[in-house]
Amino acid sequence: MSVSVLANPLQYLPATNGAVLSNGILEPTVKDYFANPFSHDRLISDRYRVEIFHEAIFQTVKPGDVVLDIGAGTGILSLMAASAGASRVFAFEENMNILEIALFNAKKKGLLNKIEFIPGNSKAIHSDLLLERPDVILSETIGSFAFNEGILSNLSSGKKILGYDGVLIPRSITLIISVVQIGNVLLKAVKNTHCSVVNLKSRLFSAEDLIYLSKPKSILSVDLQNNNLTTMSEEVSMLVERKGHINGILFWFDASLSSNCTITNHPLSHEECWQQSLMILPNHFEVDKDDDVFIKLEVHDDSLSVNHRINIGCKDHICTIENTQIL
């Protein structure tokens, strides 16, 4: 089923005031950021994002299914699931102000009788709160860095009560990296944020601002449907394609939502909300064409925070960076 023959997915957009944040830098914690209704406007005004999730939900949810929505926000995915034929949707959202918007929109769409909104995050999920075992679990807690909004711990909590034949949206996520040389103008701008990782739309910058020194390479690919991991580690080697100095690593992801629906925040994608994550190295090191660069990435999600630890080395140089995102 293609998007063109589905009901207009934009009909599910919540009734907020349309303001859009534009600075591209995350607030100190995920919880703080998504407590602001204006932050949700960025999510729901992204047509590309809304349409792909809409198509994936209508492909996956069958009439009579029970659906669990973790991190429901303003309820857009819950509304889609109910419209796709779910008999019951259990929607978990920990921020009460955002939950009120979700309740308002479910009532406005006449779907409040099918959706039960429950205050709390994934740690609050247990069988006593759900009258029926879910057939489908939704969670759109995917950050620009893929794992930095708690998708691993959220789905791990939900899967404890998932039915035997239950499915997840998303089904899998792959994190992709490229080593880059950040130009002086962009480097000064990102250093002024005092962050080791910033989110930006890399396609908006010139070739001098952001020079790709290697081809993109996947570093972590997680089968969310069949694995229950909250700690992961992988090491890859990357071949340098041009002489320069490495002072950053650019990250983006591909997420499989259903059998033929994939969403990405690739630097050249049409996605307007997610950006790419740029990690700034504390020290740069010179590289020549055909040098090998080794990168090891460790991710640990304990449901309170997501910690990323990266080791990058080339020749006699080695650098370690740690970044913690508080959930």
Stretch 31-41: mean pLDDT, rounded? 74
Residue 214 DSSP symbol: B
Q: Where are the alpha helices (DSSP H) in the chain?
A: 30-34, 37-44, 47-60, 76-83, 96-108, 151-159, 184-191
134 and 176 housed in the same domain: no
pLDDT at 9: 40
135 and 235 in one domain?
Answer: no
Tell me if residue 304 falls in helix, strand or coil. coil
Q: Are 132 and 66 in contact (CB under 8 A)?
A: yes
Instruction: Please check whether residues 133 and 200 belong to one and the same domain.
Output: no
- Give the separation between CA 325 and CA 327, rounded to whole angstroms: 6
Domain identity same for 200 and 307? yes
Q: What is the pLDDT of residues 171-204, one digit of tens each?
A: 999 999 999 999 988 888 877 766 778 888 887 7
Of 104, 105, 106, 58, nearest in space to 85 by CA: 58
Interval 116-140: pLDDT, tens: 999 987 777 776 777 788 999 999 9
Look at the chain and report how many structural domains it folds into. 2
> Residue 151 falls within a domain, yes or no?
no
**Position 301 in a domain:** yes
Would you say residue 275 lies in a domain?
yes
Do 318 and 178 share a domain, yes or no?
yes
Domain closes at, from 120, 140, 160: 140
Beta-strand ranges (E) seen in 150-266 are 167-169, 172-182, 197-200, 210-212, 217-223, 231-239, 244-258, 261-264
| Alpha-carbon span 296 to 23, nearest angstrom | 30
In-domain check, residue 316: yes
Task: Tell me: do 194 and 322 sit in the same domain.
Answer: yes
How far is 121 from 32, CA to CA, in rounded Å? 14
Q: Which two tokens stand for residue 152?
A: 């691993």
Please enumerate in sequence order all residues whose Cβ is within 8 A of that of 4, keeping only pairs 6 or more positions apart, or say none: none
Whether pTM > 0.75 for this model: the answer is yes
One domain for residues 214 and 111: no
Between 16 and 260, the more confident residue is 260
Q: What CATH number is given to the structural domain containing 205? A: 2.70.160.11
Shared domain check, 181 and 238: yes
pLDDT band at 271 (very low <50, low <70, confident <90, very high): low
The boundaries of the domain holding residue 229 are: 172-326
Same domain flag for 301 and 179: yes
180 in the same domain as 83:
no
Q: Is the pLDDT of residue 289 over 70?
A: yes
Domain of residue 62, CATH code: 3.40.50.150
